[in-house]
């Protein structure tokens, strides 16, 4: 078997886990990084990275691939092409498919299909309860052994406290984090946007901030008494952030993720962008956005995740009361964060990259991922921090075009994505 040698030359290599930040070269042999430094031997393939940053392959731990059962929205091929285009080398896919990803057989089948069809690494997140119905726990060990890296009923909260307690206990024993969709099912039922002035203007039922706080507070208490690991998906309120910050200070095993849209948009934006401002949890108030930004910058929030949620236009371009929740995010996430947080100095570049690399790898136990260092997988993203571009849904690889960011002018873009030593997408060559 011939092993391909690739030399990435002259880029600013940034490895946040170690603090390494230097203009140098990276040598890849086969699927592995073998050296980082100067005066490395030439490869059969040479990538000129001068003027760009070379970082560990980006990881998105909250993606809806819609496969199986909802492939008119997205599938393994289109979703992973979108990931590669967005600079992501690994994604974790949520279980709210048809059928729900709740058996070891389904997980094994997804892993097998991903190896054959996917352009990037796909890590399954399996359901906590059978059918994600919140009644009977799934077989955690069988799911883990089949390849699940975490468990979640995402899209639905685990409302039953006893079930969540048992889930955290089992997850602890097996090394599986439980990722929670933190919205109280009673307070959030049939809501459209955040509860406040905008919901009043639109004449629709609003989701109060305490809906998130109730579940986050409860789950922190459960994590404290079980010593299990609770991961808060798409955190959206200052109240919940304060709870996570305090819990971390107490040594409780809680981690949290935030989406680009919750970092950039407020409930007021819904009045301008309409249905593409409808998601779960909803866009919140300006003070919530400001606290989310502070929490990401100080490490209270661990991860940036897109919550990539593709829908057919027919499901979005209807009355906002009935429109589907969510937006696509894989192909815009990096540009948005660089443009509106990193370049203005609200978030350090190394902290942004950390939130997409070694931190999600640690949370979901993705061995060999999240670092550029000898012996690690050759998953690498090259980013041009200064490249100016305009979001254009017609250039998306995703089937979903449901984004509020179409037409936005951004600065900073991935220009090459390498997975397992193979260039799978580049700005010059497209999908490879």
Q: Is 229 annotated as belonging to a binding site?
A: no
| C-alpha dist (Å) from residue 431 to 82, 90, 91, 427 | 10, 16, 17, 9
Task: Name the strand (E) or helix (H) holding 377.
Answer: none
Q: Is 121 annotated as belonging to a binding site?
A: no
Alpha carbon distance 247, 231 (integer Å): 12
Alpha carbon distance 263, 247 (integer Å): 22
Task: Name the strand (E) or helix (H) holding 122.
Answer: strand 121-126
Q: Is 66 annotated as belonging to a binding site?
A: yes
Alpha carbon distance 344, 36 (integer Å): 30
Q: Pairing mode, if any, of strands 254-258 and 88-93?
A: unpaired
Whether omega for the bond prior to residue 225 falls within 30 degrees of 0, making it cis, is no
| Alpha-carbon dihedral sign for residues 99, 102, 105, 109 | positive
| Residue 307: active-site member | yes
Alpha carbon distance 5, 346 (integer Å): 38
Task: Pick the catalytic residue from 153, 184, 307, 377.
Answer: 307
Give the residue among 423, 367, 386, 354 at the shortest CA–CA distance from 56: 354
Task: Name the strand (E) or helix (H) holding 91.
Answer: strand 88-93
CB atoms within 10 A of CB 308: 31
How buried is 373 (Cβ within 10 angstroms: 0-12 exposed, 13-18 middle, 19+ buried)? middle
| C-alpha dist (Å) from residue 400 to 75, 82, 95, 319, 345 | 10, 10, 18, 18, 31
The answer to whether 404 and 327 are in contact (CB under 8 A) is yes
Q: Is 343 annotated as belonging to a binding site?
A: no
User: Residue 281: how many CA atoms within 13 Å on its side-chain side?
Assistant: 38
Alpha carbon distance 181, 178 (integer Å): 10
Q: Output phi, psi for 226, to 5 deg.
A: -100, -20
Q: Is 307 annotated as belonging to a binding site?
A: yes
Q: Is 64 annotated as belonging to a binding site?
A: yes
Give the residue among 263, 257, 215 at the shortest CA–CA distance from 232: 257
Binding-site residues for substrate:
64-66, 96, 311
Active-site residue list: 307
Binding-site residues for Zn(2+):
62, 64, 154, 181, 234, 307
Binding-site residues:
62, 64-66, 96, 154, 181, 234, 307, 311
């Amino acid at each position: 078997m011939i092993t391909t040698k690739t030399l990435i030359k002259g880029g600013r290599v940034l490895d946040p886990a170690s603090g390494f930040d230097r203009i140098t070269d990276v040598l890849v042999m086969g699927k592995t990084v073998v050296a980082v430094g100067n005066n490395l031997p030439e490869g059969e393939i040479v990538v000129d990275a001068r003027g760009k940053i070379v970082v560990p392959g980006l990881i998105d731990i909250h993606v809806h691939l819609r496969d199986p059962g909802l492939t008119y929205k997205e599938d393994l091929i289109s979703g992973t092409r979108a990931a590669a285009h967005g600079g992501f080398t690994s994604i974790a896919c949520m279980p709210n498919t048809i059928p729900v990803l709740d058996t070891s057989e389904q997980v094994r089948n997804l892993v097998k299909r991903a190896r054959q069809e996917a352009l990037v690494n796909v890590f399954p997140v399996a359901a906590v309860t059978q059918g994600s119905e919140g009644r009977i726990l799934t077989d955690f060990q069988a799911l883990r052994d089949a390849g699940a890296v975490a468990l979640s009923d995402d899209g639905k909260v685990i409302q039953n406290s006893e079930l969540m307690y048992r889930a955290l206990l089992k997850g602890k024993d097996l090394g599986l984090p439980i990722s929670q969709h933190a919205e109280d099912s009673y307070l959030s039922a049939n809501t459209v946007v955040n509860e406040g002035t905008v919901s009043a203007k639109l004449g629709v039922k609003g989701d109060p901030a305490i809906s998130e706080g109730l579940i986050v507070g409860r789950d922190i208490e459960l994590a404290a008494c079980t010593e299990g690991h609770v991961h808060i998906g798409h955190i959206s309120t200052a109240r919940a952030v304060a709870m996570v910050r305090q819990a971390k200070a107490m040594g409780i095993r809680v981690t949290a993720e935030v989406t680009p849209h919750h970092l950039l948009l407020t409930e007021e934006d819904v009045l301008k962008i309409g249905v593409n401002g409808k998601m779960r949890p909803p866009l919140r108030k300006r003070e919530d956005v400001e606290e989310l930004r502070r929490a990401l910058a100080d490490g209270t929030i661990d991860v940036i995740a897109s919550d990539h949620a593709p829908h057919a236009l027919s499901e979005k371009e209807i009355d906002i009361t009935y429109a589907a929740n969510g937006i696509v995010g894989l192909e815009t996430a990096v540009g948005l964060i660089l443009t509106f947080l990193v370049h203005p100095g609200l978030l350090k570049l190394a902290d942004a990259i950390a939130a997409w690399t070694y931190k999600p790898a640690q949370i979901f136990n993705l061995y060999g991922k999240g670092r550029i260092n000898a012996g690690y997988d050759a998953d690498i993203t090259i980013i041009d921090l200064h490249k100016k571009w305009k979001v254009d849904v017609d250039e998306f690889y995703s089937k979903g075009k449901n984004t509020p960011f179409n037409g936005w002018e951004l600065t900073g873009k991935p220009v090459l994505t390498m997975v397992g030593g193979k260039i799978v997408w580049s700005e010059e060559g497209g999908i490879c």
